[in-house]
Amino acid sequence: MNIKTTRKCLRLFSLYLSFTLISILLTGCSSDQDGQKNNKASQKPRLETQVEVVIPQKHPILQSMMISGRIDNRRRVEIRNPVAGQLTSFNLAEGDAIAANHIIAVVKNPVTHSRLNKAKYQLRQAKNNLSRLESLSKSQAVSEEQLTTAQTEMDVARATVNEIEVEITQGTIKAPFDGIVAQKAVENGTYLSPYTVIATIVDANNFAVTASVPSYQIKPLKQGLSAKVISAGGGETPVATLDRIFPTITGNDNMATVEFLLPKKESNSLTSGERVYLELELPKVEAITIPLRCVRADESGSYLFIVNSQNTIEYRQIKTGTLIDDGIVVTQGLVGGEAVVVTGFSMIKAGSKVVISSSKPL
């Protein structure tokens, strides 16, 4: 390589280094300017989320409650034979109406009748023996002890006769009240052991509606409370009266059982087993209500977002009660006067800073 060529290469290399150095300097200046711009942008004030709130207070409300129930006969009795024997005169069919004290069936047992005949014979013998000894006692031919023994034997024989006669009488089975044969369990002529169910009779004139109510709604219910009975088939809406609140709360669902009685005059239009609704008008109570859209839910249950005095969102768990128009009763978690968030949920969480754009007292 000659000297000219070498000098030419050195000049080109020098130009390349100069160009590279200038590019690096320009890039550094640009980065500094962008960084200053970003810093200025980050220093701009951030806009806080705006929310609307309602301010609930306690006030008197007239509560209504709608619960579902089932109509059933007030009285339902299983008819059993108290003695062993063959079932006779049992000619009823399911659906037959029967009057109180009507003879449903007769249970006969030949062995029982034989025992009765034997007991009667022993009673006659005991009477004759006592009469003979009483005659002899006048001549002092028998002792007082013999007379006492004979009297006791006669009393025992008479008691045995009475016992067997009662047993035979129990074989005549009568209806306990006016009713309808709901079920016939055995047929005429069957030989039965004691206390076998032969039929089920229901009272066709007395109906009740049994329903389940959440345990937190039991408190306002009182004996004698009226409820309209609404049938799926429409028609008349009889009025039932709360008669019993059962003391037991069922397991996981925390439901209590209540029973409403229907007046007899309404019974003809109702059917046992029919599903109905009960509409209750409850006495006025002091309560806090909020719009239903305020209520959120998670795995822990219902909750609200509350704006505190520092304009910070608080998470508040609550318990709710009856639905009223477009609102719901809060039974636990609010005391009244809190700022409850009603809109703007998508941009907030517990701890968020917010600005109240609208506040509405309830």
State the maximum Cα–Cα separation within the chain, in Å, rounded to a whole number: 185
5 burial (CB, 10 Å; 0-12 / 13-18 / 19+) is exposed
User: Which one has a higher pLDDT value, 206 or 27?
Assistant: 206
Average pLDDT over residues 280-295: 84
**Does the pLDDT at position 296 exceed 70?**
yes
Closest alpha carbon to 341 in 322, 317, 360, 319: 360
Q: What is the pLDDT of residue 223?
A: 86
Across 39-48, 170-179, 318-327, least confident range: 39-48
Domains along the chain with CATH numbers: 50-62+287-361 (2.40.420.20), 65-74+203-284 (2.40.30.170), 76-202 (2.40.50.100)
- Other Cβ atoms less than 10 A from the Cβ of 134: the count is 13
Distance CA 121, CA 116 (A): 9
Across 11-20, 167-176, 285-294, least confident range: 11-20
List the alpha helices (DSSP H) in the chain: 3-42, 110-137, 144-170
Q: What is the pLDDT of residue 203?
A: 87
Average pLDDT over residues 305-321: 91
Chain segment 95-115, per-residue pLDDT in tens: 898 999 999 999 999 898 999
What does the mean pLDDT of the chain come to? 82
Contacts (Cβ under 8 Å, ≥6 apart) of 237: 228, 229, 230, 231
Chain segment 194-253, per-residue pLDDT in tens: 999 999 999 888 888 998 888 777 777 888 888 888 887 666 678 888 998 888 877 666
